[in-house]
Amino acid sequence: MRPVDTIHRSITTDTVLKRQRMISTPWAISADDLAAELQTDAETGLTSAEAEKRLAEHGPNQLEDKERAHALRLFLGQFANLMIGLLVVAGVISAVLGDWADSILILLIVLANAVIGFLQEWRAEESLNALMNMTRPSCRVWRDGALTERPVVDLVPGDVIDLAGGDFVPADARLASASNLECDEAPLTGESLPVDKTVAALPAETVLPERTSMVFSGTAVLRGKGHAIVTTTGMNTELGTIASLLGRTEDVQTPLQKRLTQLSRQLAVIVLAICLLIFVVGVLREPSGAWTSKLFTDMLMVAVSLAVAAIPEGLPAVITITLALGSQKMAARNAIIRRLAAVETLGSVDIICSDKTGTLTQNRMTVVELLPGRDDDEGIRELLVAGALCNDAAASAEGDWIGSATETALLRAAAESGLDVAKLRASQPRLDEIPFSSERKRMAVLYIGEHMAALYPGEGGTHRVLVKGAAERILARCRHVRQRDALIAMDDAQQTIWEDKLRRLTERGYRVLALAERSWPAATFAEFDEDPETNLCLLGLVAINDPPRPEVKLSIAECRSAGIRPVMITGDHQVTASAIAESLGLRTESDAVINGGELERMTDDELREKVPQVSVFARVSPEHKLRIVQAYQSQGHVAAMTGDGVNDAPALKQASIGVAMGITGTDVAKGAADMVLADDNFATIVAAVEEGRVVYDNIRKFVGYLLTANTGEILAIVVAILAGFPIPLLPIHILWINLVTDGLPALALGFERGEPDIMKRRPRRQRESLFSGGLGTQIFVFGTWMGLSSVILFKLMLLDVGLFTMPADESQKIDYARSMVFLVLAMSQLFYVLALRSSKQTLWELGVWSNWRLAAAVALGAALQIAILYVEPLQKVFHTQALSLRDLAVGLIVSATSFVFLECWKLIQRTRAAIAGSSAETH
């Protein structure tokens, strides 16, 4: 790590040196003085040209990452392994004994293994770096007099940043203005209480936790707003100083990677014991007079080669690549993964707690129904005109509407009906208004009216009052209803009719507004003592709703079939929330609804017992989310929780998968989350869960593949040696099979698409063994068959019982038989990997080239294997013999048995499932 002040050492001008001295205690001078010293403007910030110049001087605003491994160091690291080291030693010994061909080939294969390992790790690093770049944070900064969104890494001293509740502070900065600004500085100072911020200068000796005129990199703005002048960036910040003391962090493995690393170590112990046994038995079974250095070297190479083949050292790298590839697929589906462990956790999610607004719905309030007093087209137009005039929303430069969601919905409906809102407002200027308030739940505006005296002869007024607000409040103030050109008294019968209409709309979850009018005799409200919001004439009701996203209903149904329980958490009224939940299929009649008041009165134990029956939490605050997710987790559930605000952060951190909104979410929420939704869409969460399940399936496939192949190789050698047979495989054969099978085919399995029923299975238990569901049995059965079938063929060929075309020369028979074993073990694994692509679909149903990477890897491996048997120079290197066409056919048929059996087993299982399903329907 560089010292904290290294960044500034390249700055040599007097101005910059003076600037550096002055900002050593920026809290001790005023913001204006600091701006002058930093040659910036506290209001408009730096110019782009000056910012680029300073960026070149100070460097990017980021903490120094762990230094990426140099390519050469990463490559040489492939040899820092006991097994590889022993193999190299064995190759050197072979060379010393004069066996140059074996020595050179062994070293070439070791080199090839190192290249593959290097490429896997390099690809993993590239994938992870790509993911890091996807989540680079941004901030609001003034450049060239305009407020712009810029990457945090581009900030420089002198920049002026804008801060608001929910933001992360991107650099150390001196406040120039602050309004109710409050920051959480616990990550930096350990202070648990929020810190109120001011702009007043402080004594130079003020300690860090008391520098209230400063904001610090890495801390969070809890509430309020302000803007500040950046004083230091990158490693020069207070957070950077701490980072420089901490040193480099170690790579963090996912839980699955840890389990497989532990598995690799356990296998290493077992395999080393077996290899030691093979070495000892192989040496002792020879007469003592036959003991030579070559015998010891050969047996050492057999044992070490077998150990290298048997221990799946490449698993962690392959898993990292697969997880990273899964993350990138999720990013393509708008789910940005911030922590790699989340990819595997997604496959276990069985509860999704989702916000309503913007996630289940479109976050776009829309007029869905109009009930005018006069039931004709003119009545609808009259209602829309009133909604457009009694409205404070306005048109934006981009052509959309700016204002409250309810009022923009009214303007949008008016514009879509053909009304020219701008022209309408220009023709009827507003004379006076009584603004909306949460206590009154209504607003009133005064316009010059047309024919008001004729419409309301008893009033005698020529001006028009329009009132808009909560329907129940407005109905209570109405004395008439407009129907055609007549007024009907709002008697008890009419009141009941309209209250019934209101009730039906609210039961459907709509927000209902009422619009009314009356005449007014003057140009202001203040000219009369009378309340202008009484004696109203009802124009009608407007039902507004935030419509569900069209794809969400299907996603919720997919959740149900996948064994995942979707739960809505909203601040909306219980009736509204329930109606939307029912329309989406998220709630059934048997599901409970809990509101915030009930939740407050519940103990944690009561909540824990209740949550399995709850599908909707209404009128809850963000603080309640933490209790909800803890209640689910206490029952063993793997819960995903969505959130967008500062107060959501604790729940997002607590959740098994914290999901932040990418559009509406605050920086604090995004920082606390494991996953960020680029489109704020519930369907994206479900898509990410699907990808998580696919990734885990693919990991199981190549773990099963590698361990099956290794089991076959070990058994072939162990059984042969214990039975007193000659060794059926030479070290060079073992290494070659390891290179061909453990390399590209295993990696290509990570590109498999999901099974058709991937979202119809129950979620995987988080602590479920990787070998559950029969995978362990499958590894043992097929690995045993591969090993035993090879040894049986080997022995039959050595007996020369007439089944095979054996060479007449006795000295060539052992190499001929070994060639068959070499072929069968290599091709068995290549055939087997094709059957492993799916647990239910056959290769022909999948399509041979649907995973072209795997098909190409298998085709290349098979071609090379055949070449080793029939190309003369390769025969000499690998000590092989050209098999007769009949023997080649026998070898390929035996090799294909595992593939054929597994494909037939899929069909048998599907037939059984179909019979069981039809039997269940019959009963």
Q: Which residue has the tokens 């290249």?
A: 115
Query: b or e along 277-301 (b: 16 or more beta carbons within 10 Å of the residue's beta carbon)?
Result: ebbeebbeeeeeeeeeeeeebbbbb
C-alpha–C-alpha distance, residues 183 and 200, integer Å: 16
Both tokens of 511, joined, read 């927000």
Taking a C-beta distance cutoff of 8 angstroms, is the pair 790, 876 a contact?
A: no
C-alpha–C-alpha distance, residues 373 and 541, integer Å: 8
Q: Which of 350, 355, 546, 648 is catalytic?
A: 355
Taking a C-beta distance cutoff of 8 angstroms, is the pair 738, 309 a contact?
A: yes
Q: How far is CA 186 from CA 169, 208, 217, 396, in A?
A: 13, 12, 12, 40
Taking a C-beta distance cutoff of 8 angstroms, is the pair 615, 566 a contact?
A: yes
C-alpha–C-alpha distance, residues 280 and 293, integer Å: 14
Helices 682-722 & 315-332, crossing angle to 10 degrees?
Answer: 160
CB count, 10 Å around CB of 571?
A: 16
Both tokens of 426, joined, read 């220009």
The residue type found at 390 is C
Q: Identify the DSSP state of 24.
A: T
Both tokens of 682, joined, read 């519930």
Taking a C-beta distance cutoff of 8 angstroms, is the pair 567, 354 a contact?
A: yes
Taking a C-beta distance cutoff of 8 angstroms, is the pair 862, 798 a contact?
A: no
Calculate the CA dihedral of residues 883, 889, 895, 898 and round it to 10 degrees.
-170
Kindly write down the DSSP assignment for every residue of 826-848, as one continuous string.
Answer: HHHHHHHHHHTT-SSS-HHHH-T
C-alpha–C-alpha distance, residues 814 and 451, integer Å: 113
Minimal CA–CA distance to 533: which of 454, 465, 470, 483? 465
Both tokens of 909, joined, read 């299982």
Q: Identify the DSSP state of 230.
A: E
Taking a C-beta distance cutoff of 8 angstroms, is the pair 350, 563 a contact?
A: yes
Active site residue 167: no
Both tokens of 296, joined, read 């010891």
Q: Which residues pair with 448 in a beta bridge?
A: 463
Q: How far is CA 147 from CA 139, 566, 795, in A?
A: 10, 40, 81
Active site residue ranges:
355
